[in-house]
Amino acid sequence: MTRPSRQGTDSLVFDLDLCSDPFEEGGSRLGPLLDALEAHAGEWMAEVVKTGKRKNKYSRAAVLESIKDDAAEDNLPFLALKRESPDVELDVFSMGAPRPYACCVSGQIWPFSLVEEPARAAEWSRRFIELFRAWGSHYPVTHGLVHVRSDSELSRYWENRPEEGPGQFPREWLKAIFWLNVLGKEWVDGLGRARVLSTPAHLVEELPTGAVLIVTRPTIADWRSEEARVAQAKAFAHLRPDLDFDTVLRELRERSAMLAPMEPRFEPDSAPLFHRVVNHVSAAERPRKIAELNAFRPAEVEEWLPADAAPRSDVADPAAVCRDYNGMGDDLSILLHPDVPAIFKATPESLTDIDYRVWWEKFPEFYQREKIDQRLFPCLGAYLGEVLVQHLGGRWVPRRNLEEAQVVIGDRAWLPFVRVRRYLQSTASLLDYSLTKFYREAERHARARPNPT
């Protein structure tokens, strides 16, 4: 079974911070956590226990073996549970030091659209309520949530939280309310137990540990609807009376607008690269990035000369220099191969792979300019020229000055080194002068004006 791609998709995220560490005593206290998971996870129950580079089919024995491996290597206990379809990751890890919480249970399910399906919405929502009720009833907790990841990221609920401890609870710990919330005993006492238990919500339930489970709506599927946002705002403003309901609701509506699906309308030649760029950013940032790139118009491709006006070769042995260009292209393959495996193929698609990787790593910002100019620039220019030669029937016209070297295709002499020089000026210029767009322009012209036979 093939894992579906996570690129371009949002996820359902769930987190629970435990006050005690179930990994203690060799993991003997993990039983109730796993009991609840096995009873309530349903079709997103983990299939694999991952330890280092090993993967074993899920079982209690595999879990204990994972804990033993961590202990043998003197690592903090870390339990990684996975499933391929639905795509699920669930991590349980010890914090290993005195903190407001001793252990964290953190998971994601991709894509979030699964939860929105009518056939799943009610059932999955019910299972999450049962799961967190079971966990919060057995283990003392600090805080827990179930929500859509992009919206939780925009809330910044984890930022600038004061240190927790007896008598230290301020209201400001609670920075957001999600679809499902677990407020631990200390949080509840700090906010006022009577106030927490009177929260206007779909479900408010006091748990045996003193925590309170709050669910704002019957299902998570309509999290961005007006009804769901009003429910969130009512609950949050009730728990934080220092906040104004209308202000809270306006901010939630603004988040909904920020996360509204945005249709890509990218400049066609740059679209292969822009789709990669968009898939790189978080789900919370994706609509804004799509809008930004929809409006972005890269510079027109000007790195060419009419073939009959281009300077002739001025090197003594053009064939030898062309072999040097080919060798420089091979050097680029060695430089970038671990990160761009397709680079050995020297295809138009590999140019997009390079564009994306150089942009993602921000080469112009983080690498010494001397290394970029002396090593990356000539290798990249030669590689770009070789792709034109191999796939568009071009021929090199070598020059002593690299930036004058050309690849002639039909009635145009293309200047790959000039293009790469502009490309490597800054991180912003990587999108403005992408290799992908340069190739697409050359390809379009070659098809319109093929080389004479």
Task: Tell how many helices (H) and how many strands (E) occur in the chain.
Answer: 20, 14
Share of the chain above pLDDT 90, in %: 67
232 and 220 inside one domain: yes
Amino acid identity of residue 423, one-letter, is Y
Partners of 180 in beta bridges? 146, 215
420 and 319 inside one domain: yes
266 and 254 inside one domain: no
153 and 239 inside one domain: yes
**Tens digits of per-residue pLDDT, 191-245?**
999 999 999 999 999 999 999 999 999 999 999 999 999 999 999 999 999 999 9
Pair of tokens at residue 229: 């946002």
Q: How buried is residue 367: exposed, middle or buried, by Cβ count under 10 Å (0-12/13-18/19+)?
A: middle
Query: Looking at the domain assignment, is residue 96 inside a domain?
Result: yes
23 and 147 inside one domain: yes
- Model confidence at 107: pLDDT above 60: yes
Distance CA 78, CA 247 (A): 41
**Tens digits of per-residue pLDDT, 437-450?**
999 999 999 988 76
Give CA angle at 102 (97, 105), nearest 5°. 130
Average pLDDT, the chain: 89
Amino acid identity of residue 268, one-letter, is P
Range of the domain at 323: 298-448
**Confidence class for position 336, pLDDT limits 50, 70, 90:** low
pLDDT on residue 29: 86
368 and 398 inside one domain: yes
Q: Which of 89-93, 146-150, 226-230, 340-344 has the lowest mean pLDDT?
A: 340-344
Query: Looking at the domain assignment, is residue 6 inside a domain?
Result: no
**Confidence class for position 1, pLDDT limits 50, 70, 90:** very low
pLDDT on residue 453: 43
| Overall average pLDDT of the 400-420 stretch | 96
pLDDT on residue 442: 96
Partners of 110 in beta bridges? 87
80 and 161 inside one domain: yes
**Tens digits of per-residue pLDDT, 341-363?**
666 677 899 899 999 989 988 98
- 382 CA to centre of own chain: 32
Amino acid identity of residue 196, one-letter, is V
Partners of 12 in beta bridges? 109, 148
3-class SS letters over 32-91: HHHHHHHHHCHHHCCCEEEECCEEEECCHHHHHHHHHHHHHCCCCCEEEEEECCCEEEEE
Pair of tokens at residue 139: 């283990």
270 and 243 inside one domain: no
Number of domains in the chain: 3
Query: Looking at the domain assignment, is residue 3 inside a domain?
Result: no
pLDDT on residue 240: 96
By the 8 A CB rule, do 305 and 413 touch?
A: yes
Query: Looking at the domain assignment, is residue 4 inside a domain?
Result: no
Pair of tokens at residue 387: 């792709």
Share of the chain above pLDDT 70, in %: 89
By the 8 A CB rule, do 302 and 438 touch?
A: no
311 and 211 inside one domain: no
Cβ density class 248-258: b for 16+ within 10 Å, e for less: bbebbeebbeb
Residue 143 has φ and ψ, to the nearest 5°, of -160, 150
**Confidence class for position 158, pLDDT limits 50, 70, 90:** confident
- Model confidence at 397: pLDDT above 70: yes
Query: Looking at the domain assignment, is residue 1 inside a domain?
Result: no
Please enumerate in sequence order all residues whose Cβ is within 8 A of that of 315, keeping only pairs 6 or more positions apart, or say none: 321, 398, 399, 400
Distance CA 90, CA 344 (A): 36
Last residue within a domain, chosen from 235, 258, 281: 258
277 and 323 inside one domain: no
By the 8 A CB rule, do 379 and 387 touch?
A: no
Distance CA 130, CA 14 (A): 13
Residues in the chain: 453
Last residue within a domain, chosen from 297, 323, 347: 297
**Tens digits of per-residue pLDDT, 274-328?**
999 998 888 888 899 999 999 999 999 999 999 999 999 999 999 999 888 888 8
Cis ω before 264 (30° cut-off from 0): no
Distance CA 180, CA 129 (A): 8
- Following DSSP, what letter does each residue of 225-293 receive, concatenated? SHHHHHHHHHHHHHH-TTS-HHHHHHHHHHHHHHTS-------GGGHHHHHHHHHHS-TTTHHHHHHHH
36 and 129 inside one domain: yes
Query: Looking at the domain assignment, is residue 110 inside a domain?
Result: yes
**Tens digits of per-residue pLDDT, 374-383?**
888 999 999 9
pLDDT on residue 165: 54
Query: Looking at the domain assignment, is residue 393 inside a domain?
Result: yes
Q: Nearest Cα to 307, choosing from 441, 397, 423, 243?
A: 397
pLDDT on residue 74: 66
More confident residue, 97 or 67: 67
**Confidence class for position 5, pLDDT limits 50, 70, 90:** low
Return the half-sphere exposure (C-beta side, CA atoms, 13 A cut-off) of residue 78: 12
Q: Nearest Cα to 128, choosing from 43, 233, 230?
A: 43
pLDDT on residue 65: 84
More confident residue, 453 or 355: 355
Last residue within a domain, chosen from 273, 297, 321: 297
Element (H, E) at 105: strand 103-110
Q: How many CB atoms lie within 10 A of CB 158?
A: 12
Query: Looking at the domain assignment, is residue 2 inside a domain?
Result: no
Distance CA 413, CA 398 (A): 11
303 and 247 inside one domain: no
More confident residue, 257 or 52: 257
